[in-house]
Amino acid sequence: MPKDNGIGASPKRREDVRFLTGAGQYTDDINVHGQTYVHFLRSDVAHGTINKIDTAAASEMPGVVRIFTGADFEGVGGLPCGWQVTDKDGNPMKEPAHPVLAQGKVRHVGDPIAAIVAESLEEARNAAEAIELDIDELPAAVDMKAALQAGAPLVHDDLGDNLCYDWQFGTDTETVDKAFAEAAHVTTLELRNNRLVANPMEPRVAVGDYARANDESTLYTTSQNPHVIRLLMGAFVLGIPEHKLRVVAPDVGGGFGTKIFHYAEEAFVTFASRQLNRPVKWTSTRSEAFMSDAHGRDHVTTIQLALDADNNFTALRTDTHANMGAYLSTFASCTPTWLHGTLMAGNYKTPAVQVNVKAVFTNTVPVDAYRGAGRPEATFSLERLVDKAARELGVDPVALRRQNFITQFPYATPVAVEYDTGDYNATMDTLEKMVDRAGFEERRKEAAARGKLRGLGVNCYIEACGIAPSNLVGQLGARAGLYDAATVRVNATGSISVMVGAHSHGQGHETVFPQVVAEMLGIDESMVDIVHGDTSKIPFGMGTYGSRSLAVCGSAMVRATEKIINKAKKIAAHLLEASEGDIELKDGQFSVAGTDKSVAWGDVTLAAYVPHNYPLEDIEPGLEETAFYDPANFTYPSGAYACELEVDPETGKIEIIQFAAADDFGNVVNPMIVEGQVHGGLAQGIGQAMLENCAYDENGQLLSASYMDYAMPRASDVPFYKVDHSNVTPCTHNPLGVKGCGEAGAIGSPPALVNAVLDALNGGGYDVAHIDMPMSPSRVWQAMQG
């Protein structure tokens, strides 16, 4: 019988009670007495020299409090990048200045030029129209490869060129070249990982509030990691010490990575509220979100696989151009390198793997982590390549994968990481059953009789989650530790508040985390609540991204709960007049082993806070413990995905018939929530493969900045998913044995879709090697015309 409490149970999400009844408290719901509103005047050219910004007339407009420009931020810090990548010659990456408001030049459509603070939003917008701008438009660097040519327009004049870094990682060139020279077969593929806009349901919002009396600033913001924002903004941008700066990220309506980063608008409202001694509020419009939220992906890659005469993979080499956009967003530099290159071995025991990445500045919106962050790009290139190799060799694509799977663990890849556990054949076995792969050729024939081209695409994936061991990432250039923290506060009557560094913005932490604590203590999970999102309440944790919350913050919570249990046992031993070593905790009762003497959880907690009969000479009163947890390794969720679909040869239109995901997430705390996470990831992966594309024209104009032009997946675009997570190889190094499930769906699904379309076309006699995403009917039809 399924459990109804604790680990393994699927209670409904308790946060949904407020979300579904309109009782959520999002940042835009926060209004501070006396607040002003800011509207940002943004560049509508991609690149230009600012000759003059005349705000005189605009400043006289009704309701205007003050207009700020880049000049007001001279001497104020710029937005920092959180990760320094070192190039292949040992030089640090180029880090251009990233002012809060543009200084001297505008560098992308959407770059903020002026900030108009007014009594109302309408007045701020009206005044923006009265600002006289004199900007000389310059030629824009848009295409990455063209941007690296001599004579290309320079995004940052002082850098000399548009190359942020040229990074190389993995096996040495001589070894890789030798393997390719000796290969029986080499498969080469050029592909593009399309640029995406994250589009969380809730656009970004920031409210800055300053209390002059005690010199304290509060920033309410749509963030996945309030402590990271406090650290970056306080220490690097505005110079406010932590104890005078509080960052609150209340209910947040989706992040997908794009709310990790520290943005100019957050720094602006905090800065301006201090200048004006009045609260300042900014709410992004959807149009602004398209041109100011960090974009995702945008890689152009050439990838090559060398195979021996027996079809064993002998070497892999990649050459990627990764778009940084106009400035370095907070984690832009590490996404195409350490979050991408380290996963390039995939599920395969390829002995030589070399990754080359050129990061390029262009006159486009900054690009940074988006659900999966580097790992989808790695999975897509590799799994498309393996499929192409199978087709070229005339072998079964699943058999080719199985032949090259890593089967011995732990396994140290040629790209630095060590996979602790996994069973890739097991998830592939499950997948083949889920989609009835054996019966596919019959279904293909049946579809052909109806004039449809049916295809089945399969791929596997591996990701590195539970980010990350601090000492390792420190060596790799991270400018922060990546531990997390939890404080378990047991109240006098036994109820518990757990203050966590992780932030829930759709993941369901408020439901899942209590399940773990309840399981450990043997109490009902309704006695446990989670507190998150407010730096004045929670310990210094690093937030939620990289499928890390349960693996890292959850582990901290387990450690803190263990400390609680240890102390509670001491108290129980005192109350029961027994030896501490004989105390057992089960079902919320402390008992003396081998006797019927016991004391309830609530009696122990009450004794801790009303210590009348208490071993005060040995232990302190109270029952509250904090733990910080720094993981020993990444976690490595893995799995196999399949998509079956039909292509209409007349139109190129694709209809997805079935989509199956067989994942190994390690141990699962709440299966329902895990399935929900996979569903969401799959929808985003299907969106990327079929619909979504962020397009710029050659002048750097953003062409897809509304839902008329940027196609988000809708319910009718996605099938009913088949999801399985029954194959469990628990993580070996965290106390819960969990690996993380937040990004898998988005990482694993795009190659399955493209592989399926190519299987359909090639199975129908069309010789098509590759189609770039999104696979619109027009692109599919064009490919079929040869």
Q: How far is the CB of 375 from another protein (least distance, A)?
A: 30
Nearer to another protein, 87 or 288 (CB): 288
Nearer to another protein, 481 or 777 (CB): 777
Q: How far is the CB of 705 from another protein (least distance, A)?
A: 3
Which letter does DSSP use for residue 496 in this model?
E
Say how far apart CA 5 and CA 386 lie, in whole Å: 43
Q: How far is the CB of 72 from another protein (least distance, A)?
A: 22
Q: How far is the CB of 702 from another protein (least distance, A)?
A: 5
Contact present, 69 and 113 (Cβ < 8 Å): yes
Parallel, antiparallel, or unpaired: how do β-strands 418-419 and 411-412 relate? antiparallel
Q: How far is the CB of 157 from another protein (least distance, A)?
A: 22
Task: Evaluate the omega torsion of the peptide bond into residue 756 and state whether it is cis, within 30 degrees of 0.
Answer: no
Contact present, 316 and 346 (Cβ < 8 Å): no
Return the closest-CA partner of residue 520 out of 572, 561, 567, 554.
561
Q: How far is the CB of 199 from another protein (least distance, A)?
A: 14
What region, left, alpha or beta, does residue 746 occupy, with left being phi > 0 and alpha being psi -120 to 50 degrees? alpha
Nearer to another protein, 128 or 760 (CB): 128
Q: Which stretch binds another protein (CB under 8 A): 163-171, 201-209, 497-505, 696-704?
A: 696-704
Phi, psi angles (nearest 5°) of residue 310: -100, 15
- In the shown chain, the binding pattern of residues 601 to 640 toward another protein, with x for contact by CB under 8 A and - for none, equals ----------------------------------------
Q: Which stretch binds another protein (CB under 8 A): 80-88, 265-273, 597-605, 695-703?
A: 695-703
Nearer to another protein, 706 or 716 (CB): 706
Q: How far is the CB of 700 from another protein (least distance, A)?
A: 9
Q: How far is the CB of 703 from another protein (least distance, A)?
A: 4
**Interface residues for another protein in 355-394 (CB under 8 A)?**
none
Q: How far is the CB of 330 from another protein (least distance, A)?
A: 25
**Interface residues for another protein in 97-136 (CB under 8 A)?**
109, 125, 128-129
Per DSSP (E only), the strands in 401-505 are 411-412, 418-419, 453-462, 484-490, 496-500
**Interface residues for another protein in 34-73 (CB under 8 A)?**
44-45
Q: Which stretch binds another protein (CB under 8 A): 157-165, 309-317, 700-708, 725-733?
A: 700-708
Nearer to another protein, 691 or 769 (CB): 691
Interacting residue with another protein among 403, 699, 732, 762 (CB under 8 A): 699
- In the shown chain, the binding pattern of residues 271 to 310 toward another protein, with x for contact by CB under 8 A and - for none, equals ----------------x--xx-------------------
Per DSSP (E only), the strands in 390-507 are 411-412, 418-419, 453-462, 484-490, 496-500
Q: How far is the CB of 697 from another protein (least distance, A)?
A: 7
Nearer to another protein, 44 or 562 (CB): 44
Max CA distance (Å), the chain: 86
Which letter does DSSP use for residue 540 in this model?
S
Q: How far is the CB of 694 from another protein (least distance, A)?
A: 11
For helices 671-690 and 744-763, the axis angle rounded to 10 degrees is 50
Contact present, 280 and 118 (Cβ < 8 Å): no
Parallel, antiparallel, or unpaired: how do β-strands 496-500 and 528-531 relate? parallel
Amino acid at 471: N
Nearer to another protein, 1 or 708 (CB): 708
- Site residue total, another protein (CB under 8 A): 20
Q: DSSP states of 585-643 as a string?
A: EETTEEEETTSS-EEEHHHHHHHHHSTTSS-TTTS-SS-EEEEEE--SS-B--EEEEEE
Contact present, 425 and 405 (Cβ < 8 Å): yes
Amino acid at 680: G
Q: Which stretch binds another protein (CB under 8 A): 260-268, 347-355, 705-713, 754-762?
A: 705-713
Nearer to another protein, 149 or 707 (CB): 707
CB atoms near residue 76 (< 10 Å): 15
Q: How far is the CB of 46 from another protein (least distance, A)?
A: 8
CB atoms near residue 782 (< 10 Å): 13
- In the shown chain, the binding pattern of residues 310 to 329 toward another protein, with x for contact by CB under 8 A and - for none, equals --------------------
Q: Is 38 helix (H, G, I), strand (E, B) or coil?
A: strand
Return the closest-CA partner of residue 313 out of 356, 354, 355, 351.
351
Asked if 701 touches another protein (CB under 8 A), the answer is yes
Return the closest-CA partner of residue 365 out of 140, 206, 92.
140
Place of tokens 């995403």: 773
Interacting residue with another protein among 150, 213, 438, 708 (CB under 8 A): 708
Contact present, 532 and 486 (Cβ < 8 Å): no
Which letter does DSSP use for residue 244 in this model?
G
Parallel, antiparallel, or unpaired: how do β-strands 353-361 and 163-170 relate? antiparallel
**How far is residue 321 from each of residues 191, 401, 613, measured CA to CA in Å?**
11, 27, 68
Q: How far is the CB of 155 from another protein (least distance, A)?
A: 18
Task: Give the sign of the dihedral formed by CA 748, CA 754, CA 759, CA 760.
Answer: positive
Nearer to another protein, 395 or 695 (CB): 695
Q: How far is the CB of 516 from another protein (least distance, A)?
A: 45
Phi, psi angles (nearest 5°) of residue 695: -115, 140
Nearer to another protein, 111 or 368 (CB): 111
Nearer to another protein, 39 or 227 (CB): 39
Nearer to another protein, 495 or 701 (CB): 701
Contact present, 457 and 656 (Cβ < 8 Å): no
**Interface residues for another protein in 725-754 (CB under 8 A)?**
none
* Beta-ladder partners of 180: none
Number of residues written out for the chain: 786
Place of tokens 């694709």: 654
**Interface residues for another protein in 7-26 (CB under 8 A)?**
none
Contact present, 652 and 784 (Cβ < 8 Å): yes
Nearer to another protein, 287 or 425 (CB): 287
Nearer to another protein, 54 or 129 (CB): 129
Interacting residue with another protein among 709, 714, 726, 778 (CB under 8 A): 709
Q: Which stretch binds another protein (CB under 8 A): 303-311, 481-489, 538-546, 702-710?
A: 702-710
Q: How far is the CB of 362 from another protein (least distance, A)?
A: 16
Say how far apart CA 50 and CA 102 lie, in whole Å: 9
Q: Which stretch binds another protein (CB under 8 A): 93-101, 692-700, 730-738, 746-754?
A: 692-700
Nearer to another protein, 44 or 161 (CB): 44
**Interface residues for another protein in 478-517 (CB under 8 A)?**
none
Q: How far is the CB of 371 from another protein (least distance, A)?
A: 23
Say how far apart CA 248 and CA 225 lie, in whole Å: 9
CB atoms near residue 172 (< 10 Å): 12
Nearer to another protein, 290 or 601 (CB): 290
Q: Is 289 helix (H, G, I), strand (E, B) or coil?
A: helix
Say how far apart CA 449 and CA 455 lie, in whole Å: 14
Nearer to another protein, 589 or 701 (CB): 701
Nearer to another protein, 143 or 423 (CB): 143
Residues found near another protein in the complex (CB under 8 A): 44-45, 109, 125, 128-129, 287, 290-291, 695, 697, 699, 701-706, 708-709
